[in-house]
Amino acid sequence: MPEPIRTRDDAVAADAADPLGYVRARFHLPEHGVYLDGNSLGALPVAVSAALEDTVDRQWGRDLITSWNANGWWTLPARVGDRIGALVGAAAGQIMCGDSTTIQLFQAVVALARLNPQRRVIVTDGDNFPTDQYIAGSAARLLGMQLVRVHPAELAQVLDANVALVSFSAVDYRTGTLWDAAAVTAQVHAAGALMLWDLAHAAGALPFELDSIGADAAVGCSYKYLNGGPGAPAWIYLAGRHHPLIDLPLTGWQGHVAPFDLAPGYAPAPGIERARIGTPPVLSMRALDAALDVFDGVAMSDVRAKSLALTELVIRYADAALPAVEVVTPREPHRRGSQVALRMPFAYEVTQALIARGVIGDFRAPDLLRLGFAPLYLTYQQVWDAMDTLHDVLAKEEWRNPAYAQRAAVT
């Protein structure tokens, strides 16, 4: 482990020694301020604009319908899926890109439930992201199953012979807690159940090993640490060993074994191609494809090391200099994702005061300031300065400004 960063000079020195320092130039970043919301919407990679311009002007405008073959639109979802697979430990041919995380969750929950049809319980985390819980509930209702909510640490209490599948997020979206995915997956398998991981807050932020931990299915979004742009298409991982029996509910024509036969009855394509649904959003997906270039030559171990150093900086700073703030995120590195959640009074107003000072984080009800750390484009110095700004906002009680109490449509 490197020395912890205790001063601004330490931060400057860490930047000078940063093996990922060169990657920052692969992004278009705002001139001013510190962006600590890359866990909500990743910054804009430089390569996106040219890729989109080419997709629109040449591929759509000139080549029109022929682009499905001539410019590889038909194969794009699987190609992008494989690129994401390389970042989350999935061998090629097991990830399909498309649709939203909500849709992919529905696909994965129903598919795993149908692989384990004698069992009638779906387990999720009561602190899981709302969509994960809502979709598990909707799928349970449609399948005549029961939904049980449990904190991942207490999984053993509910994991009996009636559990078909367990659906957890690898990183808790509020607290930033990173679960031991290998241990949880093994625990689930030992009970005869199947394991679905939501990697929304893990993919691109830390190494993950879907294949080697034996995950049965996974989903993720692409607009956080994968920097694919607002509403970038999501993805689904279905372990290759299950492919022949995977029975998905959203049976679009593109997942058919012979889509251009236009047959009236559905028969799934072999392999991960059956996870295609309708026509993919080519423009958004081409943006994501280009965005993934920022990972070229980047070792996820370097990403993880910098992420931990940044979050450790924040936690140490808060412990040392922000007495009114409680660090909610685990202090143990192996239990921490790439974010820090700070509990404090008037967290909403503090978040707004920080934004007014150019430090962009977000608020999570009821009392959390959530700061995300994207190692590819943040500097140690920026993060140090952001903490100095937070110190200032609290010391000067800037959050008392009534303007900061007004709620926006999207918080």
- Determine which one of 26, 83, 119, 224 is catalytic: 224
Q: Is 357 a catalytic residue?
A: no
Q: Quick one: which of 116, 138, 162, 187 contacts its own copies (CB under 8 A)? A: 138
- Does 408 participate in binding its own copies (rule CB under 8 A)? yes
Q: Quick one: which of 277, 353, 374, 387 contacts its own copies (CB under 8 A)? A: 277
Segment 280 to 319, residues that bind its own copies, using CB under 8 A: 280-285, 287
Q: Quick one: which of 119, 256, 274, 336 contacts its own copies (CB under 8 A)? A: 256
Q: Is 173 a catalytic residue?
A: no
Question: With respect to its own copies, which residue has the nearer C-beta, 230 or 402?
Answer: 230
Q: Is 224 a catalytic residue?
A: yes
Residue 282 has φ and ψ, to the nearest 5°, of -60, -40
Segment 55 to 74, residues that bind its own copies, using CB under 8 A: 56-57, 59-62, 64-69, 73-74
Choose one: 156-164, 295-303, 360-368, 386-394; the region binding its own copies (CB under 8 A).
360-368
Question: With respect to its own copies, which residue has the nearer C-beta, 43 or 309?
Answer: 43
- Does 409 participate in binding its own copies (rule CB under 8 A)? yes
Q: Is 106 a catalytic residue?
A: no
Question: With respect to its own copies, which residue has the nearer C-beta, 39 or 307?
Answer: 39
Size of the site for its own copies (CB under 8 A): 86
Q: Quick one: which of 2, 231, 244, 345 contacts its own copies (CB under 8 A)? A: 231
- The angle, 0 to 180 degrees and rounded to 10, between the axes of the packed helices 130-143 and 101-115 is 40
- Does 387 participate in binding its own copies (rule CB under 8 A)? no
- Does 146 participate in binding its own copies (rule CB under 8 A)? no
Question: With respect to its own copies, which residue has the nearer C-beta, 1 or 410?
Answer: 410
Question: With respect to its own copies, which residue has the nearer C-beta, 106 or 305?
Answer: 106
- Does 410 participate in binding its own copies (rule CB under 8 A)? yes
Residues known to be catalytic:
129, 198, 223-224, 370
